Structure 1
Amino acid sequence: MGAMTETLRVRPKVWIGLAIYVGYVVVVFVVQRLSGIRYTTLGESGSNLFLGAGLSLIIAAILLAITTTALGWWRPALFEQKRSVRWPIIAPILMAVALLVNLASTDWGSFDTAFFAASVVLILVGFTEELTTRGLLLTALRSRLSEGWVWFLTSALFALMHLMNAFSGQDLLPTLQQVGAAFLGGTIFYILRRTTGSLIWAMLLHGLWDFSTFAVIHGTPGPFGGFGTIIYAIAGITALISVAFVIRGAKERLPAAA
């Protein structure tokens, strides 16, 4: 534990992680609202996608990098002290399969250069949302809470983050469905962190997943487009069944500030 804590400039506290979480949500929400672009129109053009989503991610990524450096939390935010058992990684693997199905079903001919470039920027969401929740918030929660609560709260708060889409033009019912799906996704990303020992793989999977979900609904999806959603649901159920095995025996708690 000494190697993990010796580089910390600020000792982890729960309130710090929650403040970062709230700050991230506020920054993203305000920037997206100022763009004047409704969530439901993001897929209409490259400019809508960039100004309505991509720009907020760029700003948030810069602020998160500055914050993480100031706290000295890069190492505990990105790396586990010890990996969990490996076999639950089946859930993230299933999600990766769903991602590939989405990409294979995408109508790539409907993409122009601007929309493709804006879509690539969306991959940043893997960095920003993972660093916020399963990086900095997780580090803060581990200073006080058991690992079971760390999994649940990081996944739940990650899911609730998506409620802001309802304030940006999306109907409430699909927003609530998105929140539920995001809790499953959060559990999958948590498992990937625990089984690989690094948040980086979760960042990559998360970013590519969001890219694939926007890509597949642009234009006319292929005949197997709906299978990605089905495989994702199976991955989520698998994650809920197996998450206890990556929580069991975890010794990741960092000392809280005095």
Structure 2
Amino acid sequence: MADPTGSIEQASPTSGWQRFWGRGGWWRAFLFAALYIAVYLGVGRLVGLLGQGPDSPDELLDSAGSVFFGLALPILVMSVLLLVFLRSMRWRREVFGPQPVAGRPWMWGAVALVLAPIALHLVGTSWSSYSPTVVLTVLFLGLCIGFAEEVLTRGVAVTMLRRAGYGEKAVMVLSSLLFALLHASNALSGQALLTVGTTIVFAFGFGTMMYLSMRVTGSIVPAILLHAATDPTTILATGGVDTHGTSAGAESINALAGTFNIVFVVAAVVAVFLVSGRARALDTAPATSRP
């Protein structure tokens, strides 16, 4: 069940900035993610200093304003900055264009696994607990999260890893690990270390499902939309962010949805043994020698 193989063609770099990031590699991908987190936390801190957002994490879902300023605005800013970065690197086609390596039929299982808890959360949410404006703002938040985190990890990071010549197994594992480690920043907000650790493990499984979804659909866009549906439905169902084992709606249904976090991790481990191959040449990228 090997995947198609080959190498990625790259656009000729014209500046030191493009040459540095264009060489790719795991440490550049992780460095870029660290810079992303630093700027994200800085924007969030600035919003807090300006007196915007909620006074405490418990008030995040109290109003549309608290959701927007407390959660969505920093991620919206990061989404814009990621687009600026892609433009500066001329990677927009490489990230948003067709995948350079075909998916396998079994990868559709990842899409099904991600859709299942989304459906359960939709049924299990106590919708009367929220105003329509809060629900709409949380959905907008989900779009921001899905776009920013997928472009960062399944877009920029995957591109850097493939450009450095990594096989798809390494690309999947490293990009999913990077996605998981992004959630370690929750510790800076005072979240319990056990919760942070659990979130990191679950995020690795979910990140792997996103990678497989991107591969089998042939585009990063479905992964963005799946991610954009996962976070808001989970937040509304549980009544918080990264609140494992809690429920703000039908307890049994949401508890069942929560078990998929474990399923994701198990499926990720299985995927490690099935994914293979290297990315073939990109039809959308100008051909040149590797810098």
- Give the alignment's TM-score, normalised by structure 2: 0.79
Aligned to 1:112: 131
Change (3 A) 1:87 1:2: closer
SS at structure 2 position matched to 1:81: coil
Where is the helix percentage greater, Structure 1 or Structure 2? 1
1:13 equivalent among 23, 31, 36: 23
Query: Which structure 2 segments of 5+ residues have no match?
Result: 1-5, 49-53, 240-246, 283-287
Distance (whole Å) between structure 2 residues aligned to residue 234 and residue 3 of structure 1: 33
Return 160-169 or 125-134, whichever deviates more: 160-169
CA RMSD in angstroms, aligned pairs only:
2.6
Partner of 1:220: 248
Letter paired with 1:115: V
Deviation at 1:182, TM superposition (A): 0.4
* Alignment partner, residue 244 of structure 1: 273
Identity of aligned residues (%): 27
Does residue 71 (structure 1) correspond to residue 89 (structure 2)? The answer is yes
Paired residues in the alignment total 257
The alpha-carbon deviation at position 62 of structure 1 amounts to: 0.8
Deviation at 1:202, TM superposition (A): 0.7
Aligned equivalent of 2:263: 234
Amino acid at match of 1:160: L
Rate the CA distance shift 1:162–1:256 in 2: closer, same or farther, 3 A: farther
- Preserved CA contact (<8 Å) 2:125 2:248: yes
Do the aligned partners of 1:143 and 1:256 also contact (CA within 8 Å) in 2? no
Match of 2:76 in 1: 58
What TM-score, normalized by structure 1, do the two folds share? 0.88
| 1:194-213 correspondence runs (5 A) | 194-213=215-234
5+ long unaligned stretches in structure 1: none
Partner of 1:80: 99
The reply on whether 1:30 has 2:42 as its aligned counterpart is yes
SS, match of residue 68 in structure 1 = helix
CA offset digits 1:50-89 (Å, max 9, x no partner): 1121001111111111111121111222331131212122
Letter in 1 for 2:162: R
User: Partners of 1:43 and 1:8 in 2: how far apart?
Assistant: 45
Matched residue of 1:142: which SS?
Answer: helix
Greater Cα offset, 103-112 or 4-13:
4-13
Q: Structure 2 CA distance, aligned partners of 1:17 and 1:120?
A: 29
